[in-house]
């Protein structure tokens, strides 16, 4: 399927599935569970069908011999799971359109879990009874038919994109609650672009994994960079998520995208299920910001947090509250310290964090100072506002690199003016903006070949693009020329250089260095502001200003006449 066909399919599925809102006896923030569960059922059905002939062929060949295997054993080896007949999508879709449909869906999901222990407790079996209201018992059947429209030849990648699309739309539709489990794909893709994960025997941690988007995008990145199946299989993801329903979403997401790993239900502040310190090649997350209820005594002796320091309040609690346990003033720096300490000697990390953490004072300042002097922070990126469905203010991306060579400086990028306006309230990075921002990091690290490859890619697209198009999704020659110009104007020699208003490699010491700026990690302090050239000569500017001044004089004269006229009329009315 082409990108345009996939987009049309996603939009059609979303609008069709929206019938759920009109009749379901379900809270607004619970729509995602049944829909994503049905997407998984349809995925399992199609993937199993695609391998069924191969499974049956091997079964018949081994039947009666010493190497005889069950259908289930062969299926698990071939496509990763076994699908019992009661879970075939047609068996559910073709059943009568009545309240019993919910029972059939529940039984299908239960059978999948029984036959595949890895799925135990993952599928939302109990929710479907609420989708057969007495006044409209055929509602669930209508929704089931929606996903029957997904073509039988869909690949894992396409299903992953459909699942991701629905996660994103639910986050937008449900506001803060939905956004709690979803980080916009374009932000995650940029983070992955910077971290540049390598395939093979690597371990990837997300201690606030939500629906697992970080893992999925990392796996796709490696797939695009020619990782083979064995290398992909050895790449293991480890997630921690405290919300039970979101754990289920994440497990389905990993299975839908063929990502190997574990998701553990736990609170990362108080639980360390993977013994994280010094163990991971990559750490990525979008943790909750500004949490202030973490109990100090539960984290103060934990090496995940105390290596760089635990945030503490300036003064002890008042007498009135003296019986309460001390809590951290803000847990942002617990997350930041956790990411740094979880890395092995060559590890790299990236996290989304509130802008305020970049200049936080008090005990947070001391932690930040220690990390900067330790040389682990490699890059800071300020994001545009409105990139997240639940947060309108801009956030900052922090990047760590334990093996970096330039420990005496940090790369700052101000990306606040790099975005695509999706609608009035939401923005994202386009594919090319992700690549353009990512190439800054590549050039900074001395990878000039990546720049040349990207430039050649754009030139090839330019050569094959149409001059113009009525379809706004089509990228024309002018679009590709803009991408070429963006690169060549900022990095004309194909090597890294500071660009005012965009990026600056800032040393720790020296005038206007990081220490001189009181250890601030706010990109705006270092990158500067672009002053646009209006292209006018001094004489042209003088002429325009004189014309504007004459116009202002006329407006002031008209205002005076109007004021006098109003005064006269008031005097006439009231005799004064």
Binned at pLDDT 50, 70 and 90, residue 294 comes out as: very high
Determine how β-strand 377-382 pairs with β-strand 409-414. parallel
Tokens of 337: 């310290």
Domain ranges of the chain: 3-151, 540-576
CA 157 to chain centre: 17
**Res. 2: pLDDT tops 70:** no
Within 8 A by CB and 6+ apart from 416, the residues are 382, 383, 384, 385, 394
C-alpha distances (whole Å) from 199 to each of 12, 172, 209, 339, 349 are 35, 32, 20, 20, 16
Tokens of 345: 């000697």
Backbone angles phi, psi at 263, to 5 degrees: -120, 120
How does pLDDT run across 412-445, given as a tens digit for each residue?
A: 999 999 999 887 777 899 999 999 999 999 999 9
How does pLDDT run across 20-52, given as a tens digit for each residue?
A: 766 666 665 677 788 888 989 998 999 899 989
How does pLDDT run across 149-199, given as a tens digit for each residue?
A: 888 888 777 777 787 788 777 766 655 454 455 688 899 999 999 999 988
Q: What is the 3-state secondary structure (H, E, C) of 154-208?
A: CCHHHHHHHHHHHHHHHHHHHCHHHHCCCCCHHHHHHHHHHHCCCCCCCEEEECC
> Cα–Cα–Cα angle for 57, 110, 246, nearest 5°?
110
- Quick one: angle between helices 244-256 and 213-224, nearest 10? 10
Tokens of 342: 């979880």
CATH class entry, domain 3-151: mainly alpha
Question: Global pTM?
Answer: 0.81
Which value, in Å, is the radius of gyration of the alpha carbons in the chain?
A: 29
């Amino acid at each position: 399927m082409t990108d345009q066909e996939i987009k049309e399919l996603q939009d059609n599925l979303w609008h069709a599935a929206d019938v759920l809102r009109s009749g379901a006896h379900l809270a607004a923030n619970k729509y995602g569970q049944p829909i994503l569960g049905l997407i998984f059922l349809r995925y399992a059905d199609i993937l199993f069908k695609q391998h069924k002939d191969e499974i049956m062929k091997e079964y018949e060949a081994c039947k009666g011999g010493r190497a005889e295997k069950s259908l289930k054993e062969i299926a698990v080896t071939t496509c990763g799971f076994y699908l019992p007949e009661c879970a075939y999508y047609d068996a559910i879709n073709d059943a009568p359109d009545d309240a019993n449909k919910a029972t059939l869906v529940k039984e299908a999901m239960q059978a999948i879990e029984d036959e595949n222990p890895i799925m135990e407790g993952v599928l939302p079996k109990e929710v479907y009874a609420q989708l057969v209201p007495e006044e409209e018992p055929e509602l669930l059947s209508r929704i089931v038919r929606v996903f029957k429209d997904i073509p039988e030849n869909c690949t894992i990648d396409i299903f992953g994109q459909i699942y991701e699309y629905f996660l994103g739309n639910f986050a937008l539709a449900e506001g803060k609650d939905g956004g709690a489990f979803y980080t916009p794909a374009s932000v995650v893709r940029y983070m992955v672009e910077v971290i540049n994960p390598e395939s093979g025997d690597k371990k990837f941690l997300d201690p606030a994994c939500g629906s697992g988007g970080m893992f999925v995008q990392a796996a796709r990145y490696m797939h695009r960079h020619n990782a083979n199946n064995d290398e992909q299989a050895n790449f293991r993801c480890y997630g921690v998520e405290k919300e039970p329903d979101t754990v289920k979403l994440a497990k389905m997401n990993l299975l839908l995208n063929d990502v190997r790993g574990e998701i553990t239900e736990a609170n990362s502040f108080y639980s360390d299920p993977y013994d994280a310190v010094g163990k991971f090649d990559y750490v990525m997350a979008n943790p909750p910001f500004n949490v202030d209820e973490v109990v100090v005594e539960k984290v103060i002796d934990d090496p995940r947090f105390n290596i760089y320091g635990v945030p503490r309040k300036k003064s002890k609690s008042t007498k009135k509250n003296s019986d309460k346990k001390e809590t951290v003033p803000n847990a942002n720096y617990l997350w930041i310290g956790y990411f740094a300490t979880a890395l092995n000697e060559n590890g790299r990390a990236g996290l989304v964090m509130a802008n305020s953490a970049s200049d936080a004072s008090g005990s947070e300042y001391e932690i930040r100072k220690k990390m900067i002097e330790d040389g682990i922070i490699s890059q800071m990126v300020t994001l545009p506002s409105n990139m997240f469905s639940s947060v309108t203010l801009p956030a900052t991306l922090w990047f760590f690199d334990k093996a970096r060579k330039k420990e005496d400086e940090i790369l700052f990028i101000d990306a606040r003016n790099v975005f695509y306006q999706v609608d009035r309230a939401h923005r994202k990075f386009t594919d090319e903006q992700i690549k353009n921002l990512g190439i800054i990091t590549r050039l900074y690290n001395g990878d000039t070949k990546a720049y040349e490859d990207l430039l050649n890619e754009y030139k090839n697209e330019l050569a094959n693009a149409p001059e113009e198009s009525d379809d706004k999704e089509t990228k024309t020659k002018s679009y590709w020329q803009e991408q070429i110009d963006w690169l060549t104007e900022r990095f004309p020699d194909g090597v890294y250089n500071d660009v005012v208003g965009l990026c600056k490699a800032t040393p720790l010491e020296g005038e206007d260095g990081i220490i001189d700026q009181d250890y601030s990690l706010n990109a705006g302090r270092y990158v500067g502001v672009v002053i646009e050239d209006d292209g006018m000569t001094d004489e042209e500017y003088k002429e325009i200003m004189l014309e504007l001044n004459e116009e202002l004089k006329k407006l002031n004269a008209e205002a005076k006449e109007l004021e006098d006229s109003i005064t006269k009329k008031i005097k006439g009315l009231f005799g004064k």
